[in-house]
Structure 1
Amino acid sequence: MRDALPMRLVTWNINSLRLRLPSLEKLAAHLLPDIICLQETKVPDPLFPADAVRAMGYEHLHYKGMKSYNGVAILSRHPVTPLEQLPDWHGKEDCRHVGALVHLPSGPLELHDFYVPAGGDIPDIETNPKFAHKLAFVEEVTEWFTTRKRERSVLVGDFNIAPLEHDVWSHKQLLNVVSHTPPETERLTKWLDVGFVDAMRHFIPADEKLYTWWSYRNQDWKKSNRGRRLDHVWVTPDLVADLSGMTVVREARDWEKPSDHVPVVVDFSFS
Structure 2
Amino acid sequence: MADTLSIASWNINSVRARIDIVEQFLTQESPDILCLQETKVVNETFPADMFRRLGYVHQVLNGQKMHHGVAIMSRVPIHEDDRLDWQANGEARHVGVRLDNGVRIENVYVPAGGDIADREQNPKFGQKLDFLQRMIDWSSALDNKPTILTGDFNIAPLECDVWSHKQLLGVVSHTPVECDILARLQASNDWVDIGRHFHPAPARLYTWWSYRAKDWAESDRGRRLDHMWMTRDVADKAVGHRVVEPARNWGKPSDHIPIITDFAF
Paired residue type of 2:28? H
User: How far off its partner does 1:138 sit?
Assistant: 0.3
TM-score, length of structure 2 as denominator length: 0.97
User: How far off its partner does 1:122 sit?
Assistant: 0.5
User: How far off its partner does 1:32 sit?
Assistant: 0.9
- Asked if the contact 2:85–2:93 (Cα under 8 Å) also holds between the matched residues in 1, the reply is no
How is 1:21-60 mapped onto 2 (pairs within 5 angstroms)?
A: 21-60=19-58
1:193 aligns with 187
1:247 aligns with 242
* Paired positions, count: 263
Question: Any idea what the Cα deviations from partners look like across 1:163-190, whole Å, max 9, x if unmatched?
Answer: 0010000011100000000111100111
User: How far off its partner does 1:251 sit?
Assistant: 0.1
User: How far off its partner does 1:267 sit?
Assistant: 0.6
CA distance in structure 2 between the partners assigned to 1:240 and 1:145 by the alignment = 16
Question: Any idea what the Cα deviations from partners look like across 1:96-134, whole Å, max 9, x if unmatched?
Answer: 00001022xxx2210000000000000010010100100
1:98 aligns with 95
TM-score, length of structure 1 as denominator length: 0.95
- Asked if the contact 2:96–2:107 (Cα under 8 Å) also holds between the matched residues in 1, the reply is yes
2:198 aligns with 203
* Equivalent position SS for 1:83: strand
**Which runs of 5 or more residues in structure 2 are unaligned?**
none
Counterpart among 61, 64, 69 of residue 62 in structure 2: 64
User: How far off its partner does 1:8 sit?
Assistant: 0.7
Question: Any idea what the Cα deviations from partners look like across 1:208-240, whole Å, max 9, x if unmatched?
Answer: 222000000001111110000000000101122
- Asked if the contact 2:84–2:95 (Cα under 8 Å) also holds between the matched residues in 1, the reply is no
* Equivalent position SS for 1:108: coil
1:145 aligns with 139
CA distance in structure 1 between the partners assigned to 2:99 and 2:215 by the alignment = 39
CA distance in structure 1 between the partners assigned to 2:85 and 2:103 by the alignment = 22
1:175 aligns with 169
- Asked if the contact 1:38–1:73 (Cα under 8 Å) also holds between the matched residues in 2, the reply is yes
Paired residue type of 1:95? A
- Asked if the contact 2:18–2:252 (Cα under 8 Å) also holds between the matched residues in 1, the reply is yes
How is 1:218-237 mapped onto 2 (pairs within 5 angstroms)?
A: 218-237=213-232
CA distance in structure 2 between the partners assigned to 1:109 and 1:65 by the alignment = 23
Counterpart among 189, 207, 216 of residue 212 in structure 1: 207
Paired residue type of 2:90? E
Over the matched positions of the two proteins, sequence identity in percent amounts to 49
2:75 aligns with 77
* Equivalent position SS for 2:71: strand
**Which runs of 5 or more residues in structure 1 are unaligned?**
none
CA distance in structure 2 between the partners assigned to 1:153 and 1:126 by the alignment = 35
* Equivalent position SS for 1:141: helix
CA distance in structure 1 between the partners assigned to 2:137 and 2:204 by the alignment = 30
Paired residue type of 1:63? L
1:110 aligns with 104
- Asked if the contact 1:44–1:66 (Cα under 8 Å) also holds between the matched residues in 2, the reply is yes
